[in-house]
Amino acid sequence: MADQKYPQSAESNEYRYLDYLWLDEIATGLTAGAEKHPGETWRDIPAAEHAARALRHLSMWLAGDRSDSHIINASMRCMMARAMEREENQNYDPEESDALREENKELWAELNKYRLRDFEGGAE
């Protein structure tokens, strides 16, 4: 039945591939955030800051911290980063990119440690 073709135009974005339980967790997290910080204050934060905080949540999850919903928090921050990126509609100049890379050097080192461990057969 999954291979059934219907006489209609192809969809440009296939919503059937979304995990709706994950999407519901994102909506629940965003609702809790809106109650804690009313007025969509996340829109006052630049995309790069949202991305850095998403990486922080992923790093904590990779380090084994399960005390918070880090995957959901990272997902929300990625959504916020993308929304702000669209609003900002800007490209960083090389000096600004270098400064951001330097600022996140420790985080990248931590993430690379896990990446190397996982892909070199040392995953726990």
- pLDDT, tens digit (0-9, with 9 covering 90-100), for 15-50: 888 899 999 999 999 999 999 998 889 999 999 999
Neighbours of 81 (CB within 10 A): 21
| Mean of pLDDT values over 1-19 | 75
Rounded to the nearest integer, the mean pLDDT of the chain is 82
Residue 92 within any structural domain of the chain: yes
Number of domains forming the structure of the chain: 1
Whether 4 is covered by a domain: the verdict is: no
80 lies in some domain: yes
Residue 86, in any domain of the structure: yes
Instruction: In whole angstroms, give the CA distance from residue 67 to residue 33.
Output: 18
Query: Residue 6 falls within a domain, yes or no?
Result: no
Could you tell me what percentage of the chain is helix, strand and coil, using 3-state DSSP and rounding each to the nearest 5?
70, 0, 30
- The answer to the question of residue 56 being in a domain is yes
Q: What residue numbers bound the domain in which 89 lies?
A: 19-29+37-119
What residues have CB less than 8 Å from 29, skipping those under 6 apart?
A: 69, 72, 73, 76
